[in-house]
Amino acid sequence: MAAINWFRFASPASFYPLAGKLTALFGWVAVLLAVAGLYVGFVIAPTDAQQGESYRIIFIHVPAAWMAMLIYVVIAFWSVFSLALNARLPSMMAQALAPTGALFAFIALWTGAFWGRPTWGTYWVWDARLTSTLVLLFLYLGLIALRSGIDDPRRADRACALLALVGVVNVPIIYFSVRWWNTLHQGATISMGAAPKMAQTMLTAMLLMTFSAWAYAIATAFHRVRTIIIEREALSDWVGKIVDPSIPGQPGTAHAERQP
């Protein structure tokens, strides 16, 4: 069996075309899974005995909340890599994930509000889970603001990696908040080692939407990382061929970073 040199993809030049193929693949997977999930969720899944139809918000609320937490953990993972190896691509991946993480955190809060109103009688309470999820949204916005506030990309990489690592303690707080504190938010619907407390078709719809959200996040992150590569490696020869294929043999050093 031929050995694949995985480290080849650690260089932006060889990662760029791969990321392009993955963007298209995962984009389509996201669309197909969302169509299937919405069909099961709105056509097949029955009305909930206690909540009526409003429970159907779960099909986007729970996947969005999971993705918001997961993406932050992935950013922290890439941040460890970028600090330990002082490599460019892990920082770029962390940077590429932050806006999509912010989007999912916002959607988790928004859909939670519109589910809370018919269920609890209020759009918002300063409950441990809601508050810690709001903190997560602010952490994402902080990462984006910090990045745009520092001109030198390598300094911005390090500052954002540190913020990501400090903020990651918030994720287990969100996850366990419903156990640690007496919250208005209900406990975990799905947890390891226990049978899910919901009907099979509801669970199927929710999982389809979750996998769709995964695929969407992967697609957008890879799309964004390619834009970041173009920005940061603009003067390298291989980016020149991408942005301006008509002119061969342009000046510029390989892998030159954009200077502020």
Cβ closest to other proteins, residue 129 vs residue 224:
224
Q: Compute how many residues bind other proteins; rule: CB under 8 A.
A: 39
Q: Which among 64, 57, 31 is positioned nearest to 42, based on CA atoms?
A: 57
Q: Which two tokens stand for residue 99?
A: 């806006």
**For other proteins, which residue of 117, 155, 179, 197 counts as binding (CB under 8 A)?**
117
Tell me which residue has tokens 């406990």.
187
Residues forming beta bridges with residue 48, ordered by sequence position? 52
Tell me which stretch binds other proteins (CB under 8 A): 72-80, 110-118, 152-160, 167-175: 110-118
Q: In the complex with other proteins, which residue's Cβ is closer, 193 or 260? A: 260
Task: Report how far residue 152's alpha carbon sits from residue 130's, in angstroms, rounded to the nearest whole number.
Answer: 35
- What is the per-residue binding string for other proteins in 41-70, x denoting contact by CB under 8 A? ------x----xxx-xx--xx--x------
19 close to 218: Cβ distance less than 8 angstroms: no
**107 contributes a contact to other proteins by CB under 8 A:** yes
CB 140, CB 98: distance < 8 Å: yes
Nearer to other proteins, 157 or 168 (CB): 157
Reading the block at residue 102, the tokens are 């912010």
Instruction: Choose the binding region for other proteins from 72-80, 111-119, 141-149, 200-208 (rule: CB under 8 A).
Output: 111-119
Burial track 58-68 (b if 16+ CB lie within 10 A, e otherwise): bbbbbbbbbbb
- Contact call for residue 189 and other proteins (CB under 8 A): no
Site for other proteins in 209-228 (CB under 8 A): 216, 220, 223-224, 226-227
Residue 243 engages other proteins in binding (rule: CB under 8 A):
yes
- Angle, helices 12-39/200-232, rounded to nearest 10 degrees: 150
* Whole-number CA gyration radius for the chain: 21
Q: Interface residues with other proteins (CB under 8 A)?
A: 47, 52-54, 56-57, 60-61, 64, 99-100, 103, 106-107, 110-111, 114-115, 117-118, 216, 220, 223-224, 226-227, 230-231, 234-235, 239-240, 242-244, 250-252, 258
